[in-house]
């Protein structure tokens, strides 16, 4: 089973997820989406499975710094996709890909359930 964790290395939640995966012996690749960017098809797959409301972090600094007009324009998956490709920091982190099954965020209980 192929597992990839998407995020940015200095995010505390991403750090916790990476630590949990390592502690449980799970070999997961890491994709730094600030450094390596994001592919349209990857983000579209996330959106199809999870929905834009889950993926766009409207509590984060990046979202709060956006102009009100830009925030107001994010009303559907297409607008969210454009925003996430433009500003990957607006994506709630981390995104975990386990063979095409996606989850967002991290908690011990969430990962214990995913990897049981």
Q: Which residues are catalytic?
A: 11
66: left (phi over 0), alpha (psi -120 to 50) or beta: beta
Cα separation of 90 and 26, whole Å? 27
Beta carbons within 8 Å of 29's beta carbon, 6+ residues apart: 2, 3, 4, 5
* Whole-angstrom distance, CA of residue 106 vs CA of residue 13: 6
State whether residue 86 is helix, strand or coil. helix
Token pair in block for residue 37: 């960017």
């Amino acid at each position: 089973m192929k597992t990839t964790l998407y995020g940015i290395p200095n995010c505390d939640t991403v750090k916790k997820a990476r630590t949990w995966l390592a502690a449980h012996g799970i070999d997961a690749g890491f994709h730094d989406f600030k450094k390596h960017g994001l592919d349209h098809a990857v983000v579209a797959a996330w959106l199809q499975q999870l929905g834009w409301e889950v993926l766009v972090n409207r509590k984060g600094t990046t979202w709060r710094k956006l102009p009100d007009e830009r925030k107001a324009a994010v009303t559907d998956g297409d607008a969210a996709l454009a925003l996430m490709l433009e500003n990957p920091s607006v994506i709630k982190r981390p995104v975990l890909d386990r063979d095409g099954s996606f989850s967002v965020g991290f908690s011990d209980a969430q990962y214990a359930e995913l990897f049981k």
